[in-house]
């Protein structure tokens, strides 16, 4: 007899592991002929970008570029002036992740742990530092299970409810955000752009039926050098962006796990109506990666039998990733940068930029503790007429506790720290730093589940029943299901003939009447 079944496809993933790798950077670059000799390096800004990733056996191979912007002091006509020069470097390295294989997915990230720039001679500089590479590898499962059996009057099924984390969609999209900065007449025209920085705020993703809506703000800080002057100026502009994406099967109850990346900024200096270079066109490229997930409640078949036929069942065991919980916490990170040289005391802050780096994370009962470092760079005008521009850097440690009720030490966690905003102020001759860092933690664990994947009837006669009735004494570990299956009857029949009020409560030593002619 053929057994008609209802099948369902399950697609889910398991966090196989995450790991880090330090990529040592050591390069030398020549100052272009169009630029003057280097007297003093103020700072080097580095923007890492992962271009390609490949999951291999027990490791992930990453390749990418490093965009350097070196700001330095040079002497022109007996006075010090600020200049900048850009270079492009390259990095590649392996991140070891045990168990990784070619068909698996991964999420990667590269960030600067620290970077220094030194003068080799007046026409050559050296850049040394560490770029930290991070890889998270996910093992995907895509399998079919038997969800139900059609026309099952004669087939008894034991079902248990489970909750499965399912992936609805993986979204990767680029968003272009445009804006314009107009230089006021109180400031000189633009000669060159020395540096820029973008910080993304107010990140928001809303999920609707078959659609996802992405919104946010790109806060642009731009430093330019004035025409016919050695003075430099800071400008700010907010670029709002939004994009609606069609996503098949998306629904409002789904959760999103998203990352925003600034891929680049195009800066174009233009003339205004009277021919002065006072218009700066901005075009930012923002990449958004979003994973839509939801929990599906399912009643899976744990066991099945028929009183009238023999059946053979095939089960498969899978390790499923279960999202236990998540939490967010906003913290304020403060520091005071002491300026020891009185000749380089700050007069005006031009820009304050930073990035965060997680150094450690650990789960304790009901919490995830995240330790990290805030790397800060402050460019400012000094009280000194000669060395009129200076830059200071500082590594500020921080710690954050994110509440995740029910989290246990043996579980696994993912953590992110996002710099939401940073500012610098002059206080008593020093520079006071204040930053807002949003910390996020997600706690997972692995659950081993057995699923029924195949069932078929066996052409074999049932044993002959010789006794008209059986009195059965309940043993330790017995359930009505096990007893009914053993004697080829149904739970309902046993409940009815024994007039049981609660079929879930039977005790060792209880005597039950088994209906029908029992097998001896």
Domain boundary assignment for the chain = 1-155, 163-297, 325-446, 463-519
3-state secondary structure of 22: strand
- How long a stretch of residues is the chain? 520
Residue 475: both structure tokens together: 């043993």
Lowest mean pLDDT among 55-59, 140-144, 214-218, 442-446: 140-144
Whole-angstrom distance, CA of residue 287 vs CA of residue 176: 9
Tens digits of per-residue pLDDT, 293-349? 999 998 899 999 888 888 889 999 988 889 999 999 999 999 999 999 989 999 999
Mean pLDDT, the chain, whole residue set: 92
The DSSP string of 226-266 is ETTSS-EEEEEEEEEEEEEEE-TT--TT-EEEEEEEEEEEE
Tell me how crowded residue 172 is: count the other CB atoms within 10 A of its CB: 9
Segment 222-247 mean pLDDT = 96
Check residue 464 and give its pLDDT: 64
Residues paired with residue 435 on neighbouring β-strands, in sequence order: 333, 422
At residue 468, does pLDDT exceed 80?
Answer: no
Check residue 465 and give its pLDDT: 60
Residues paired with residue 50 on neighbouring β-strands, in sequence order: 64
Tens digits of per-residue pLDDT, 127-176? 999 999 999 999 988 889 998 888 666 788 999 999 889 889 999 999 99
Tell me how crowded residue 124 is: count the other CB atoms within 10 A of its CB: 12
What confidence tier does 20 reach under pLDDT thresholds 50, 70, 90?
very high
For the chain, state the CA radius of gyration.
33
Instruction: Give how far the C-alpha of residue 354 lies from the chain's centroid of Cα atoms, to the nearest Å.
Output: 19
Lowest mean pLDDT among 44-48, 158-162, 466-470: 466-470
Residues paired with residue 422 on neighbouring β-strands, in sequence order: 435
* Cβ–Cβ under 8 Å, residues 91 and 129: no
Q: How far is CA 428 from CA 126, 256, 393, in A?
A: 35, 45, 18
At residue 460, does pLDDT exceed 90?
Answer: no
List, edge to edge, every strand of the sheet that includes 367-382: 346-364, 367-382, 389-403
Query: Pairing state of beta strands 156-182 and 190-208?
Result: unpaired
Q: Give the DSSP H or E segment for 496.
A: helix 491-498
Signed CA dihedral, 66, 200, 211, 6: sign only: positive
Tell me the three-class secondary structure of 415-446, residue by residue: EEEEEEEEEEEEECCEEEEEEEEEEEEEEEEE
Query: What end-to-end distance do the CA atoms of the chain give, in Å?
Result: 26
Check residue 518 and give its pLDDT: 44
Q: Which residue has the tokens 């027990």?
A: 58
Q: Give the DSSP H or E segment for 492.
A: helix 491-498
Check residue 289 and give its pLDDT: 94
Segment 367-393 mean pLDDT = 95
Q: In this structure, what DSSP letter does residue 509 have?
A: T
Cβ within 8 Å of residue 445, ≥6 positions away? 321, 322, 324, 408, 410, 411, 412
Check residue 142 and give its pLDDT: 86
What confidence tier does 422 reach under pLDDT thresholds 50, 70, 90?
very high
* Cβ–Cβ under 8 Å, residues 215 and 202: yes
Segment 106-125 mean pLDDT = 94
Task: Give the predicted TM-score (pTM) of the model.
Answer: 0.86
Whole-angstrom distance, CA of residue 389 vs CA of residue 85: 16
Check residue 480 and give its pLDDT: 93
Check residue 426 and give its pLDDT: 97
Q: Which residue has the tokens 């060792």?
A: 508
At residue 2, does pLDDT exceed 80?
Answer: no
The DSSP string of 191-229 is EEEEEEEEEEEEEEEEEETTEEEEEEEEEEEEEEEETTS
What confidence tier does 462 reach under pLDDT thresholds 50, 70, 90?
low
3-state helix, strand, coil in the chain (%, to 5): 5, 75, 25
**Closest residue by Cα to residue 293 from 334, 257, 247, 242:** 257
At residue 184, does pLDDT exceed 70?
Answer: yes
Whole-angstrom distance, CA of residue 207 vs CA of residue 479: 45
Tell me how crowded residue 133 is: count the other CB atoms within 10 A of its CB: 24
Whole-angstrom distance, CA of residue 388 vs CA of residue 382: 5
Whole-angstrom distance, CA of residue 315 vs CA of residue 452: 4
* Cβ–Cβ under 8 Å, residues 236 and 242: no
Segment 404-418 mean pLDDT = 95
3-state secondary structure of 374: strand
At residue 520, does pLDDT exceed 60?
Answer: no
Beta strands in 150-184, from DSSP E residues, in sequence order: 156-182
3-state secondary structure of 231: coil
At residue 519, does pLDDT exceed 50?
Answer: no
Domain 463-519 classified CATH 3.40.50.300? no
3-state secondary structure of 482: helix
Check residue 311 and give its pLDDT: 85
What confidence tier does 470 reach under pLDDT thresholds 50, 70, 90?
confident
Tell me how crowded residue 411 is: count the other CB atoms within 10 A of its CB: 17
**Closest residue by Cα to residue 114 from 390, 393, 336, 350:** 393
* Cβ–Cβ under 8 Å, residues 361 and 439: no
At residue 83, does pLDDT exceed 90?
Answer: yes
């Amino acid at each position: 007899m053929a057994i008609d079944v209802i099948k369902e496809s399950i697609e889910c993933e398991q966090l196989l592991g995450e790991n880090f790798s330090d990529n040592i950077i050591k390069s030398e670059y020549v100052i272009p002929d169009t630029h003057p000799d280097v007297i003093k390096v103020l700072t080097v800004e580095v923007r890492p970008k992962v271009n390609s990733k490949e999951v291999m056996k027990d490791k992930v191979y990453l390749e990418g570029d490093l965009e350097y912007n070196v700001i330095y002091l040079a002497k022109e006509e007996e006075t010090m002036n600020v200049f900048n020069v850009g270079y492009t470097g390259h990095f590649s390295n392996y991140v070891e992740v045990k168990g990784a294989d070619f068909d698996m997915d991964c999420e990667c990230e590269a960030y600067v742990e620290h970077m220094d720039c030194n003068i080799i001679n007046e026409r050559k500089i050296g850049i040394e530092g560490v770029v930290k590479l991070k890889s998270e590898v996910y093992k995907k499962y895509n399998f079919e299970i038997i969800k139900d059996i059609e026309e099952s009057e004669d087939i008894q099924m034991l079902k248990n409810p489970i909750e499965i984390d399912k992936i609805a969609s993986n979204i990767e999209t680029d968003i272009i955000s445009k804006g314009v900065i107009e230089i006021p007449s109180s400031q000189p025209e633009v000669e060159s752009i020395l540096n820029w920085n973008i910080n993304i705020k107010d990140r928001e993703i809303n999920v609707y039926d078959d659609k996802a809506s992405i919104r946010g703000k790109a806060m642009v800080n731009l430093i330019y050098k004035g025409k016919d002057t050695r003075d430099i100026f800071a400008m700010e502009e907010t670029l709002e962006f939004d994009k609606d994406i069609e996503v098949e099967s998306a629904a409002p109850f789904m959760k999103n796990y998203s990352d925003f990346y600034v891929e680049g900024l195009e800066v174009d200096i233009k003339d205004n109506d009277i021919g002065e270079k006072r218009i700066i066109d901005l075009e930012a490229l923002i990449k958004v990666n979003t994973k839509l997930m939801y929990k599906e409640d399912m009643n899976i078949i744990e066991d099945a039998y028929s009183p009238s036929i023999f059946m053979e069942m095939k089960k498969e065991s899978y390790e499923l990733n279960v999202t236990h919980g998540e939490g967010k916490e906003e913290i304020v990170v403060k520091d005071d940068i002491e300026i020891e040289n009185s000749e380089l005391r700050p007069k005006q802050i031009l820009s304050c930029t930073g990035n965060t780096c997680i150094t450690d994370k650990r789960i304790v009962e009901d919490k995830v503790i995240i330790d990290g470092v805030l790397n800060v760079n402050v460019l400012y005008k000094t009280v000194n007429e000669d060395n009129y521009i200076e830059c200071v850097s500082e590594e500020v440690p921080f710690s954050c506790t994110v509440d995740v009720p029910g989290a246990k030490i043996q579980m696994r966690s993912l953590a992110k720290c996002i710099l939401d905003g940073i500012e610098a102020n002059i206080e008593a001759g020093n520079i006071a730093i204040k930053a807002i860092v949003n910390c996020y933690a997600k706690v997972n664990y692995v659950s081993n589940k057995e699923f029924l994947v195949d069932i078929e009837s066996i052409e074999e006669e049932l044993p002959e029943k010789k006794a008209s009735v059986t009195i059965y004494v309940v043993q330790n570990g017995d359930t009505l299901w096990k007893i009914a299956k053993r004697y080829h009857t149904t739970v309902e029949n046993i409940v009815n003939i024994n007039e049981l009020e609660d079929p879930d409560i039977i005790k060792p030593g209880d005597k039950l009447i088994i209906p029908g002619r029992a097998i001896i």
